[in-house]
Chains A and B, each alone.
Chain A
Amino acid sequence: MAADIALRFPATTAPSRETPPAPPPSATTETPATRRVVIAISLAFIAAVLILPLAAVFTEAFRGGVSKYLESFDDPDTWAAIKLTLLVTAIAVPLNVVFGLAASWAIAKFDFRGKSVLVTLIDLPFSVSPVVSGMSYVLLFGAQGYLGHYLDTINLQIIFATPGLVLATIFVTFPFVARELIPLMQEQGSSEEEAALSLGAGGWRTFWSVTLPNVRWALLYGVLLSNARAMGEFGAVSVVSGHLRGLTNTIPLQVEILYNDYNFVAAFAVASVLAGLGLVTLAVKSALEWRYADQLAAGRRR
């Protein structure tokens, strides 16, 4: 009887008892030689475009030895640039966290008119050149700008001052947090929040004890990306800075100034600080990806 059934329904009853089939032939048909060539091309490309320049930065920075390298940081203007960059980042990143959380909360948990417009607007800084955004801030807040006269009467300087740098930095970095959180929050839905509300929790408690913990790793990831970009931004910041040495120069701008002064060792030394920050960010990001892959998966699937 069993044989009879197996005859008539071979697909449902037979396979479990058969010897496992030979592994299927590879779906790709390229010869090993082709594969090696393709891999070699991509490695060569990465080496030429990424690794060599990075190595060059450190080589040039240490060309005069460690003492020369450290001397580069005796310049008060360089210190001012480092401090200013940290200050701008410390203001811009938290503001972007607040904005990113609010935007992704609104987009993921509610339906409203104009939602798709908001989603598109969040991506705007990715598509608009940073120089253009810098120019638009000058146009708005500069001495000859639309609001320039009013800002002058209340004695507030934005362009060629720290507030302008902060604004320009916020503009270029604001998608990072929101872009990480929106897909994750959409995937998680709002039933956990509804559960918290049904259990008597208020809005704040629900946010702090349910919403935020559920997105904490994606949030940290977004903060890292936004942090790296905030410290490294050149274009938008360059337009609104005015390049006042020791006052409105951030690290990237200071690197450019030192380079233009033919002070190559100092330029590369300061650049190595930026590169180092970037590498640390990359390392932390990779560690996060490795440790919390499942919770970040939703964010990367886009």
Chain B
Amino acid sequence: MELKIRHVSKDYGTFAALHDVSLDIRSGELVALLGPSGSGKTTLLRAIAGLETIDEGQIFFGGTDASRTSIQQRNVGFVFQHYALFRHMKVADNIAFGLRARDRSRRPHESEIARKVKELLELVQLPELGDRYPAQLSGGQRQRVALARALAIEPQVLLLDEPFGALDAQVRKDLRRWLRAIHEETGHTTVFVTHDQEEALELADRVAVLSKGELQQIGTPDDIYDRPATPFVYAFIGDSSFLPIEVRGGEAVLDRSVLPLGQLSAPDGQARLHVRPQDVVLRPTGEGVSGRVTLLRRTGAFRRADIEVGDARRRIEAQLPPELAITEGDEVGLHFNRFAVFPSDAPHSTAPN
């Protein structure tokens, strides 16, 4: 089932939870909604499910406008952040709930329900646990039951709210791989919310980055990481530093150094140059932008350097090969393999640098 989200807005009083969000999700795709807390990602997911009403815009399920239909009519599989399993029901009854809740005309026979429950328990690799209560399960097992319960109703789309948020690191990694495998097997159009960029990049076909209720960028993990569309995405995904620069006639000017912008285009005026630590290369003094090494630290396979750049002594981070012979206090030249330039008045991230 294909999802089309068109100019969706939602206000909580004066606070805009979603502001003119438009987004297409292709049939069978696995999409991550990524953003810091308060970015509107969960509100968007709940709006798709019908758990939140939207003030403006439309949400299309396939060709039909579902924005004004009830949650029951939308037939979505929703996996809640804390699973929301029915605590007084056994696992098997939890999974069967959606089938038993159907109208008499569409309700399968009880033996058919039992067969379906068994099948789903096998799919989520918990065939022995049908008679347990949710309180008797581990976090990872509850997550699987929640997914089985959502899949039981043969949903048009599968929506997951922070599916791995409450689990510890190892379980999280296993479940991530497992969820991807289930997605391949069942082929549901799947949208999940996460604040963990690693999770989003690893798991999703495409990632939608939100900030303050606005969609910043949607693209493949490569697009998001290598070609961030906004300063927010640049700062939020991966490590990066920025330098204030001036753009003049298609070139970036930093003090006395000039960097050709190449294919990047930016209007003349004050701007910021964003660069990732691994894209900073050291050259002999005099080449490129001048800087001074102020701090060297060993981090695993690499060496991290803090470098003060230019007259303003603005500090950036560089990731260097450990065999490079430099010491703190050295004057160096800098070359940027890859960088981005955004006008200074573009909305900036509040994420820590």
CB <8 Å contact, B88 and A198: no
* B71 interface residue per 8 A CB criterion: yes
Residues of B contacting A214 with CB < 8 Å?
A: 87-88
Tell me the minimal C-beta distance from A214 to chain B in angstroms: 6
A196 touches B51 (CB 8 A): no
For the complex, is A200 an interface residue (Cβ under 8 Å from B)?
A: yes
B86 touches A200 (CB 8 A): no
Are B88 and A191 in contact, CB atoms less than 8 angstroms apart? no
A187-243, CB < 8 A from B: 191-192, 194-202, 205, 209-210, 213-214
Task: With A191-B82, A191-B84, A210-B86 as known contacts, state yes or no: A196 contacts B101, CB within 8 Å.
Answer: yes
Q: Are B78 and A198 in contact (CB under 8 A)?
A: yes
Q: How far is the CA of A205 from the CA of B97 in the complex (A)?
A: 10
- By the criterion CB–CB under 8 Å, are B72 and A200 in contact? yes
Contact partner of A199 (CB less than 8 A), chosen from B87, B88, B98, is B98
Tell me how far the C-beta of B226 lies from the nearest C-beta in chain A, rounded to whole angstroms.
Answer: 37
Q: What residues on A are CB-neighbors of B76 within 8 Å?
A: 198
Indicate if the CB atoms of B88 and A197 lie closer than 8 Å: no
A205: which of B71, B85, B101, B152 is its contact (CB, 8 Å)? B101
Q: How far apart are the CA atoms of A154 and B173 in the complex, in Å? A: 74
User: B86 touching A195 by the CB < 8 A rule?
Assistant: yes
> Could you tell me the distance in whole angstroms from the C-beta of A276 to the nearest C-beta in chain B?
33
- Chain A residues within an 8 Å CB radius of B101: 196, 199-202, 205
Q: Is the interface of A mostly helix, strand, loop or mixed?
A: helix
| Contact of B98 with A200 in the complex, beta carbons under 8 Å | yes
Chain A residues within 8 Å of B77, by CB? 198
Does B49 sit at the interface, judged by CB under 8 A?
A: yes
B residues near A213, Cβ cutoff 8 Å: 86, 88
Return chain B residues, CB-CB under 8 Å to A201. 72, 97-98, 101
Cβ of B80 < 8 Å from any Cβ of A? yes
> With an 8 A cutoff between CB atoms, is B344 at the interface?
no
User: B149 at interface (Cβ–Cβ under 8 A)?
Assistant: yes
Q: List the B residue with the shortest CB-CB distance to A294.
A: B135
Within 8 A of B (CB), among A159-213: 191-192, 194-202, 205, 209-210, 213
Which residue from A192, A198, A202 sits with its C-beta under 8 Å from B86? A192
Q: How many Å lie between the Cα of A202 and that of B101 in the bound state?
A: 8
Chain A residues in 8 Å Cβ range of B72: 197, 200-202
Q: Report how far A106 CA is from B77 CA in the complex, Å.
A: 26
**CB contact between B71 and one of A192, A198, A209, A210 (< 8 Å): that residue:** A198
Task: Indicate which residue in B71, B82, B102, B149 contacts A197 across the interface (CB closer than 8 Å).
Answer: B71
Taking the closest CB of chain A, its distance from the CB of B12, in whole angstroms, is 10
Cβ-defined contact, A196 with B71, below 8 A? no
> Is there contact, CB below 8 Å, between B82 and A199?
no
Bound-state Cα–Cα, A202 to B100, Å: 12
Distance in Å: Cβ of A20 to nearest Cβ of chain B? 27
Give complex CA distance A205, B86 in Å. 13
Task: Determine if B270 is an interface residue (Cβ-Cβ < 8 Å).
Answer: no
Give chain B residues whose Cβ lies under 8 Å from the Cβ of A200: 72, 75, 98, 101-102, 153
Q: Which chain B residues numbered 47 to 103 have a C-beta less than 8 Å away from chain A?
A: 49-51, 71-72, 75-78, 80-82, 84-88, 97-98, 101-102
Q: Chain A residues near B88 (CB, 8 Å)? A: 213-214
Residue of chain B at shortest CB distance from A192? B84
In the bound assembly, the distance between CA atoms of A197 and B77 in angstroms comes to: 11
Residues B49 and A196 in contact, CB atoms below 8 Å apart: no
Give A257 to B7 CA distance when docked, in angstroms.
75
CA distance A197 to B101 in the complex (A): 10
Per-position binary interface string of chain B over residues 141-155, scored 1 when its CB falls under 8 Å from any chain A CB and 0 otherwise:
000000001101100
> How many angstroms between the C-alpha atoms of A205 and B72 in the bound complex?
12
A194 touches B51 (CB 8 A): yes
Q: Hey, which chain A residues are within 8 Å of B149, CB to CB?
A: 195, 199
B347 to chain A, nearest CB (A): 31
- Which 9 A-B pairs give the minimum distances between C-beta atoms? A199-B98, A191-B84, A201-B101, A195-B84, A198-B78, A213-B88, A200-B101, A192-B84, A200-B72
- A-B pairs with beta carbons under 8 Å apart, 18 shown: A191-B80, A191-B84, A194-B80, A195-B85, A196-B97, A196-B101, A198-B49, A198-B50, A198-B71, A200-B98, A200-B102, A201-B72, A201-B97, A201-B98, A201-B101, A209-B97, A213-B86, A213-B88
Apart from A195-B85, A199-B98, list 6 A-B contacts with CB within 8 A: A191-B84, A192-B85, A197-B51, A198-B77, A202-B101, A209-B97
Interface residue ranges, A against B (CB under 8 Å): 191-192, 194-202, 205, 209-210, 213-214
